[in-house]
Structure 1
Amino acid sequence: MQFPESWLRSFCNPALNTQELAELLTMSGLEVEELRPAAPPFHGIVVAEILTAEQHPNADKLRVCTVNAGGPEPLQIVCGAPNARAGIKVPLATIGAELPPGEDGQPFKIGKGKLRGVESFGMLCSARELKLSEDHGGLLELAADAPVGQSIREHLNLDDMLFTLKLTPNLAHCLSVYGIAREVSALTGAPLQAPSFPPVAVKHEAKLPVRIEAPDLCGRFSGRVVRGINTRAQTPAWMVERLARCGQRSVSPLVDISNYVMFELGRPSHIFDLDKIHGELIVRWGKAGEQLKLLNGNTITVDEQVGVIADREQVESLAGIMGGDATAVSDDTKNVYVEAAFWWPKAVAGRSRRYNFSTDAGHRFERGVDPVGTVEHIERITQLILEICGGEAGPMDDQVAAMPERKPVTLRVARAAKVIGMELSQAQCAEVFKRLGLDFVEGEGTLTVTPPSYRFDIQIEEDLIEEVIRVLGYPKLPATPPLAPVVGKTLSESRRAVHALRHAMAGRDYYETINFSFVEARWEQELAGNANPIQLLNPIAAPLAVMRSSLIGSLVQVLRHNLARKAPRVRVFEIGRVFLRDASVVESDSSIAGVAQPMRLAGLAYGPAEQQQWSQRDRQVDFFDVKGDLEALFAPRQLSFVAAEHPALHPGRSAKVLLEGAEIGVIGELHPKWRQGYELPQAPVLFELTLDAVLARSLPKSAGVPRQQSVQRDIAVIVGEGVTHDALMAAIAGAHEGLIRSAKLFDVFKPAQPTAELKAGERSLAVRLELLDEESTLTDERIEQAVSKVLAALGEKLGARLRG
């Protein structure tokens, strides 16, 4: 919100200088983001009138002018501006004047000069030379009644300051100069010059029929017809100046008036060309497929979620956001319909972002605009139209469909003192509410406030507490040290910190990436198998329209981003939240009804398995490399992997990850179909795990050094090709032989051609058994007996036989 200080002080003029006023606003929650002068420094420039303008005798593009600058004698000035002519008033830099600093930062000093043999006693200036605008088409023409000889800074009020406020969304009532002045009056006690809205004289009885079909879209709709206006009139210089200092350029008188009242009072409005409206206006929700060409030239398609103003033939305006091109005013407009409405904030919020633009009107309506002031503000707009463009006003048409209810909010003085952290009396709170113009009823230690129509932000007790300390002043808060000791929370040793997990992943050569939680619907359909993802009502970009239920799509996109920048080797991981439909989830401070939001760890590996080096050949990363990364991440806990299918992964090269028999995630190579679909030269290996399972860890248990010597025995058994490593280890573990301490597979053999011993479909597995008895030395007899039990178990469960 940008505005000039002079406009603010016309409503409320506290006994504060500019810097003090800026500090006051900032410390009351209205942060002054920027404070700058309306014009750069210069001096010696006055209002002058050109008396004559004759052709230069020695130059085609120069004129010799005689100028009245308020002195005893006219001055001779040589000027090259195309609009230099007798009778106009322009800025004159007299001898000794200094123009604004140039690119070198040094001011330009005016002296007596001679141009093509003719002396010049000063310089006539353009707006660009004074750095008031970029217009360099000619001299800056001033008003005809400008006093000759007056300082141009005084005449144009160039010593003004421009405030730019960075307002939070709850401060919608401060999105106008009057709204800010109201706050300044409450903060300082300076009198507020409230504007008056006397009804204009009604000259005819014409009304435009209006129907409100959607009270949940529009709560109030006010308007009037104004006939016989002159849209070719000139916008007054004072209005153009104020609009420019609010960052708004002048367009045409009617548009300028509408914008001026919006900045002045915070009320966006719209002016229709009455003769272009077909019959009546209908306020309703849009219909699927309806199209509207907006004032910015864009043609959009609306649906049932977007509010519109339509006539009997077509949509004419996007409700609360922007008018349509079909009924826009032009230089040929003679009759207009002035509209001011109350649009429900929820009905406007986010609608403009659907079409990739934003407007000042939408910015205000989605935060809340006073529903009570529509009629008064139309009176203000009508008054300005009649003053500037002429015409005759018709009767006011005010339709009320549904007004917002302001529920009373109670402030407990004791509670406010506790939250604020300083002594507070009920009288102080009452005085604050009086200064803010809030109606309240006092009770025993309480004040019950009924919020005014323009305060959409006062809903709970904490809102009132904020108002109290904001007006009393944050600098009054005592510097009280905390009473309770500050003690850091100690994380349980059975749970690893997320930061430690990040270090562990970085130690495995993975880089962390952070992605949006909203993704493309295609990723969910193809890579997560989710045909019904959670839809976003107001996506920040059209493709990012759903909430992710898997991190895999985000990592594949990161890989594509890296490959587009010629990265040959990619190792990335992400720790993030996913969003799943779950009817069992109830509403709470940290959850949304029907939506589960678990945390996941996902990773991706692509390219060479190791960094390129001379001592080994390049080898592409595969399933077992990433499997080894996971086993190292979980050590000493043991993972197991069972072949499984996943929508994103290769059906023969993927598995579900099990920890102590419970499934905690998946791992595998990207499906060939998606490798081609996402245009990847090779298939990456991915994994996705439940974060809680990754963070949990087992505590170490102490064990004494064995007093006896362990014994190793190697056995080779012949089994069918379908026997897996897990099945082999499970059969050995199930032998119930207490002497077996560990078993490791160290060799797999299958001859090129079947032999008498190894038939077709069979292979040899060699296993090293480690045997140990903590209490006594093992004898050959006990060792052989234990090995025999293992062989018997393998034969019984796997059909294995001893090789040789």
Structure 2
Amino acid sequence: MQFPESWLREYCNPSLTTQELADTLTMAGLEVEELDPVAPPFTGIVVGEIKEAVQHPDADRLRICQVDVGGPALLNIVCGAPNARVGIRIPCATVGAELPPGADGKPFKIKIGKLRGVESYGMLCSAKELGIADDHGGLLELPADAPLGQNVREYLNLDDTLFTLKLTPNLAHCLSVYGVARELSALTGTPLKALSFPAAAVASQDKLPVKIEATDLCGRFSGRIVRNVNTQVKTPQWMLDRLARCGQRAVSPLVDISNYVMFELGRPSHIFDLDKISGGLSVRWGKQGETLKLLNGSTIEISAVPQVGVIADAHGLESLAGIMGGDATAVSDDTKNIYIEAAFWFPKAVAGRSRHFNFSTDAGHRFERGVDPQFTTEHIERITQLVLDICGTPETQVAVMDDQQPNMPAPKTVQLRVARAAKVIGMPVTQQQCLDALNGLGLPATVAQEGVISVTAPTFRFDINLEEDLVEEIARMMGYENLPTTKPLAPISPKLRAENSRSPYAVRHALAGLGYQETINFSFVEEKWEQELAGNQDAIKLLNPIASHLSVMRSSLLGSLLQVLKFNVDRKAQRVRVFELGRVFFKDDAVVESDTTVKGFHQPMRVAGLAYGAADQLQWGSAEAKVDFYDIKGDVEALLAPIKPVFEAAEHPALHPGRCARVLVDGKAIGFVGELHPQWRQEWDLAQAPVMFELALDAVLARQVPVFAPVAKHQMVERDIAVVVKEAVTHAQIMQAITAASAGAILRNAVLFDVFRPKKLKAGEEAAAGSLAQDEKSLAVRLSLGLDERALEDTEIEAAMQAVVEQLKQSLGARLR
């Protein structure tokens, strides 16, 4: 929030310098982010009036002006501004004056000059040349009553300072100049100027019919009709200056008045063109498919989620409740009759709606944090007063006030334990100190019992809900700079991780050792990713997304990794290996509410990785090869080691149908590994398909506890067998059959070391006698046999080998090659 210091000091003027005032606010939690002068330094510029302006004899664009600056003689000044004319009062830099520094950082000093043969004893200035605006359209025209010869800095109050506050969401009551003044008064003890709202003389009993259909949207709605106003007038310069110094551009007198009261009192309001309203107004929730053209020119369509509050008349929508008015009933230069509205909109009914429509407003910013519902009628009186002062005519008629209060928020009572406050703040505080601090802030505090203070939160403090909120207020009033610096004291007890589990850090370390780099991504993703990459048609939708495309919670990490890959590939990365440990989200009615869970939502942790490009870094010792399924399968096995996973063919929406496997540990599926589906590879415009995996983190964190065994005293026996099986037989089936055939405990290990497939025959060729069929393959396996206590006998070895061969024949139809 931005405002000028002079406006703040009108309401509360402590004997502090500008910097001391800024420090006081900052140490109370109202961080002053910037202090900027209204205008850069300059001297010798006074108010002047052009008494005569004649064309320069040798220049079409120059005029020779006679300027009165309140001195004994007129100054002869040559000027090229298009609006230099007789009778206007303008800033005049006299000889010796210094203008604001230019691009070189040095001030520009005015000297007697000669332009096309005519001497010039000064310079007439524009707003840009004074450094107070970017407009260079001509001379800065001052009001006709500006005192001649007065210093322009003094006349325009240019020695003022702009305060920019960085407010936290709980300080909504400080989103106005008066709100900041109220805090400053409490901090310094300086009296706060009381506000008065004299009632306007009522000349009519007319009321605009207003029906509040949604009391959970609007708790109070106040309004008044004012007829026969003059919108052709100009907004007073003093109001324009204050609005500009709050960062608000001028629009029209009525809009400027509404904005002025918002910055002054924190009350967003809206002024309708009464003659454009059909029938009465209805305050309700918007309906699916309704449209509204807003004041900013955009047209929005109302959706069912989130619910959006609207103000409508008989013809349709007229305003977006608490956010922005509609174009249909906007005031203009032709407006004669107006309706002034000030309402209380519940914060939850406004929060996030602006972002849903991809814009933000000052009104929505305030209403979603909470605006005082108590003084709507008083603030309408303030707006009415300004309308009469600026736009009033002898025929102007003010109607009676209409005020409906269907659902005013109930005051909240919060209790504070003084001992608790002292413990949290970290320094001794007395009961009286707490009472003084809270009452000074306008929080009515009374002693409920000794050591316990009761506070009924006023209507302008929506953030007072807990005891901790009151503790924070006391700490702010005491000043953060006065809090003692103490080291935290806490018992230290080591937390030992179970031996059969490892930490997420160990998983990160293992993946980094395999050449992957960690990424951290949003849990919010595009809905399209969920539907296409995760096959999730019932994604968890966000009511208030941080961006329109990040609208759902992810149920898979693969989309996030693909986005990281795309970002790097677009920047000419040739080899990408990334991983992420993150949470995914599913709807699950079986989940109950607890300290670590949310009812109806399952939030497991996953670990996922992606590899793209070359399998290894460029080197002379081996030929470059692209990463493939088996490279990543090996990484998964290394990550899970010493647990030995089983891989079985499967399908996944994001992965290639023939190059995807489900990962199983102890018969339980823990994730997938595979190559990206060609369809998504084409859609993401990737030169080759990346290979990815995604595993349940709980399964990865589990590990086998080492079991100690003596080293075998006898050498193991190794035997090789080669069997012919159908092409469809998998390695896992071979190993399962060998394990099932082991006689006793003599089989120690089995390793596949060779795969042979017959050469494909050309048309007309015949297979050689005894060769493999086209749908067969030969697998060679090395078996390791042995016993710990003694050497194996030949008969035992032969029996074990025969048992293996027999099992392969029976279960898989294999034959010895």
Same fold (TM over 0.5): yes
Kindly provide the amino acid, as one letter, of the partner of residue 716 in structure 1. A
Deviations 1:474-527 (A, max 9, x none): 222222233336677555554433334333323323333333222222222222
Match of 1:41 in 2: 41
Match of 1:202 in 2: 202
Q: 2:390 aligns with which of 388, 391, 404?
A: 388
Alignment check: 8 A CA contact 2:322 2:364 kept: yes
Kindly provide the amino acid, as one letter, of the partner of residue 649 in structure 1. L
Please give the alpha-carbon distance, in whole angstroms, between the structure 2 residues aligned to 1:486 and 1:477.
25
Give how far 1:539 is off.
2.4
The verdict on how the C-alpha distance between 1:750 and 1:440 changes in structure 2, with shifts beyond 3 A counting, is same
Q: Secondary structure at the match of 1:544?
A: coil
Q: Secondary structure at the match of 2:128?
A: coil
Q: Secondary structure at the match of 2:303?
A: coil
The verdict on how the C-alpha distance between 1:676 and 1:235 changes in structure 2, with shifts beyond 3 A counting, is same
- The correspondence of residues 532-551 of structure 1 with structure 2, limited to 5 A, is 532-551=538-557
Alignment check: 8 A CA contact 2:413 2:457 kept: yes
Give how far 1:433 is off.
1.3
Please give the alpha-carbon distance, in whole angstroms, between the structure 2 residues aligned to 1:658 and 1:130.
75
Please give the alpha-carbon distance, in whole angstroms, between the structure 2 residues aligned to 1:124 and 1:32.
36
Please give the alpha-carbon distance, in whole angstroms, between the structure 2 residues aligned to 1:757 and 1:140.
101
Q: Secondary structure at the match of 2:339?
A: strand
Match of 2:254 in 1: 254
Kindly provide the amino acid, as one letter, of the partner of residue 648 in structure 1. A
Match of 2:191 in 1: 191
Alignment check: 8 A CA contact 2:743 2:800 kept: no
Q: Secondary structure at the match of 1:104?
A: coil
Deviations 1:397-416 (A, max 9, x none): 11111111222111111111
Match of 1:25 in 2: 25
Kindly provide the amino acid, as one letter, of the partner of residue 208 in structure 1. L
Match of 2:412 in 1: 407
- The correspondence of residues 258-269 of structure 1 with structure 2, limited to 5 A, is 258-269=258-269
Could you tell which deviates more after superposition, 239-248 or 286-295? 286-295
Deviations 1:730-775 (A, max 9, x none): 2332324322221212223444547548677554432222223322
Kindly provide the amino acid, as one letter, of the partner of residue 218 in structure 2. C
- The correspondence of residues 175-186 of structure 1 with structure 2, limited to 5 A, is 175-186=175-186
1:425 corresponds to 2:430: yes
Could you tell which deviates more after superposition, 334-343 or 735-744? 735-744
Q: 1:315 aligns with which of 314, 317, 324?
A: 317
Q: Secondary structure at the match of 2:626?
A: coil
Q: 2:353 aligns with which of 351, 354, 373?
A: 351
Alignment check: 8 A CA contact 2:758 2:773 kept: no
Match of 2:372 in 1: 370
Q: Which runs of 5+ in 1 are unaligned?
A: none
Please give the alpha-carbon distance, in whole angstroms, between the structure 1 residues aligned to 2:7 and 2:713.
93
Kindly provide the amino acid, as one letter, of the partner of residue 650 in structure 2. A
Give how far 1:105 is off.
0.4
Q: Secondary structure at the match of 2:485?
A: coil
Kindly provide the amino acid, as one letter, of the partner of residue 246 in structure 2. C
Alignment check: 8 A CA contact 1:235 1:252 kept: yes
Match of 2:752 in 1: 745
Q: What TM-score do the two structures reach when normalised by structure 2?
A: 0.94
The verdict on how the C-alpha distance between 1:334 and 1:772 changes in structure 2, with shifts beyond 3 A counting, is same
Please give the alpha-carbon distance, in whole angstroms, between the structure 2 residues aligned to 1:92 and 1:168.
44
The verdict on how the C-alpha distance between 1:486 and 1:241 changes in structure 2, with shifts beyond 3 A counting, is farther
1:598 corresponds to 2:612: no
Kindly provide the amino acid, as one letter, of the partner of residue 587 in structure 2. R
1:689 corresponds to 2:703: no
Match of 1:436 in 2: 441
Please give the alpha-carbon distance, in whole angstroms, between the structure 1 residues aligned to 2:446 and 2:425.
22
- The correspondence of residues 100-179 of structure 1 with structure 2, limited to 5 A, is 100-179=100-179
Please give the alpha-carbon distance, in whole angstroms, between the structure 2 residues aligned to 1:750 and 1:242.
86
Deviations 1:749-802 (A, max 9, x none): 444547548677554432222223322334434433443444444445445454
Please give the alpha-carbon distance, in whole angstroms, between the structure 2 residues aligned to 1:84 and 1:722.
94
Please give the alpha-carbon distance, in whole angstroms, between the structure 2 residues aligned to 1:248 and 1:623.
60
- The correspondence of residues 340-739 of structure 1 with structure 2, limited to 5 A, is 340-390=342-392, 391-442=396-447, 443-484=449-490, 491-492=497-498, 494-613=500-619, 615-734=621-740, 735-739=742-746
Q: Secondary structure at the match of 1:235?
A: coil
Could you tell which deviates more after superposition, 158-167 or 134-143? 134-143
Please give the alpha-carbon distance, in whole angstroms, between the structure 2 residues aligned to 1:139 and 1:488.
74
Kindly provide the amino acid, as one letter, of the partner of residue 361 in structure 1. A
Please give the alpha-carbon distance, in whole angstroms, between the structure 1 residues aligned to 2:663 and 2:230.
77
Please give the alpha-carbon distance, in whole angstroms, between the structure 2 residues aligned to 1:780 and 1:626.
41
Q: Secondary structure at the match of 2:364?
A: helix
Please give the alpha-carbon distance, in whole angstroms, between the structure 1 residues aligned to 2:318 and 2:76.
57
Give how far 1:614 is off.
5.2
Give how far 1:186 is off.
0.9
Q: Secondary structure at the match of 2:400?
A: coil
Q: Which runs of 5+ in 2 are unaligned?
A: 760-766
The verdict on how the C-alpha distance between 1:181 and 1:590 changes in structure 2, with shifts beyond 3 A counting, is farther
Alignment check: 8 A CA contact 1:754 1:760 kept: no
Match of 2:764 in 1: none
The verdict on how the C-alpha distance between 1:759 and 1:675 changes in structure 2, with shifts beyond 3 A counting, is closer
Please give the alpha-carbon distance, in whole angstroms, between the structure 1 residues aligned to 2:439 and 2:157.
35
Please give the alpha-carbon distance, in whole angstroms, between the structure 1 residues aligned to 2:726 and 2:258.
86
Give how far 1:568 is off.
3.9
Could you tell which deviates more after superposition, 535-544 or 257-266? 535-544
- The correspondence of residues 214-253 of structure 1 with structure 2, limited to 5 A, is 214-253=214-253
Alignment check: 8 A CA contact 2:311 2:320 kept: yes
Could you tell which deviates more after superposition, 686-695 or 65-74? 65-74
Q: Secondary structure at the match of 2:129?
A: coil
Please give the alpha-carbon distance, in whole angstroms, between the structure 2 residues aligned to 1:56 and 1:486.
87
- The correspondence of residues 3-22 of structure 1 with structure 2, limited to 5 A, is 3-22=3-22
Could you tell which deviates more after superposition, 111-120 or 345-354? 111-120
Alignment check: 8 A CA contact 2:672 2:693 kept: yes
Give how far 1:375 is off.
0.2
Alignment check: 8 A CA contact 1:548 1:579 kept: yes
Match of 2:763 in 1: none
Please give the alpha-carbon distance, in whole angstroms, between the structure 2 residues aligned to 1:487 and 1:103.
62
Please give the alpha-carbon distance, in whole angstroms, between the structure 1 residues aligned to 2:83 and 2:814.
106
Deviations 1:565-587 (A, max 9, x none): 44443332222211101112222
Deviations 1:337-381 (A, max 9, x none): 111111111111111112211100011111110011110000000
Alignment check: 8 A CA contact 2:609 2:693 kept: yes
Aligned residues: 803
Q: Secondary structure at the match of 1:456?
A: coil
Alignment check: 8 A CA contact 1:737 1:789 kept: no
Please give the alpha-carbon distance, in whole angstroms, between the structure 2 residues aligned to 1:465 and 1:434.
13
Give how far 1:721 is off.
4.2
Kindly provide the amino acid, as one letter, of the partner of residue 249 in structure 1. R
RMSD: 2.2
Match of 1:67 in 2: 67
Deviations 1:234-282 (A, max 9, x none): 2111111110110011111111100000000000011111111112111
Q: 1:771 aligns with which of 775, 785, 790?
A: 785
Kindly provide the amino acid, as one letter, of the partner of residue 119 in structure 1. E
Could you tell which deviates more after superposition, 519-528 or 445-454? 519-528
The verdict on how the C-alpha distance between 1:241 and 1:484 changes in structure 2, with shifts beyond 3 A counting, is same
Please give the alpha-carbon distance, in whole angstroms, between the structure 1 residues aligned to 2:226 and 2:101.
48
Could you tell which deviates more after superposition, 258-267 or 659-668? 659-668
Kindly provide the amino acid, as one letter, of the partner of residue 467 in structure 1. E
Give how far 1:440 is off.
2.6
Seq. identity, %: 67
Alignment check: 8 A CA contact 1:386 1:392 kept: no
